[in-house]
Homo-oligomer: A and B are copies of this chain.
């Protein structure tokens, strides 16, 4: 499963389950989600398979931290996944499915739906764009080419988020306009 591979990817640098959850909230939110219980369980399983190593550290502010890093076998597993090429066909977009059937809702609800959608998409876009901006400004003249390999690829993915959310916001805007135009015509 993909969560396994994602964890292996993250664990190039040591981190605890709790740390990883934070990263999911911040970095991965726009293309993946996982809850704490799921993460802990997956970590335990990967350790049992010898793909992760664990050490226990005292925490400054809570119970002992179990810090994981991937093993050579873990890196290999990750590489195999990447070598498969891009995996398609697993996309799940609940809000688009809803939009598809929106004819079933009352007219005011349809508008409210698209307004809420635009709102959320704009938030996402703003968040991502801010991170991107920040990153770009601290980079030199030949940014992003001067990043190290891992950062470079993270940056490309971030850029994708920026581009995609921008396109989506524009689409939601245009859709709202079309809905309004259509409603006016009816009266």
Query: Contact partner of A153 among B83, B100, B150, B152, CB < 8 A?
Result: B100
Q: Is A163's CB within 8 Å of the partner chain B?
A: yes
Contact B144 A178, beta carbon cutoff 8 Å: yes
Chain A residues touching B, majority SS: helix
Q: Is A78's CB within 8 Å of the partner chain B?
A: yes
A20 CB, min distance to chain B CBs, angstroms: 14
Q: How many copies does the complex hold?
A: 2
Q: Is A94's CB within 8 Å of the partner chain B?
A: yes
The interface of chain A, by Cβ under 8 A from chain B, is 2, 5-6, 9, 12, 28-33, 75, 78-79, 81-83, 85-105, 109-110, 112-113, 116-117, 120, 142, 144-145, 148-150, 152-154, 156-157, 159-160, 163-164, 166-168, 170-171, 174-175, 178, 181-182, 185
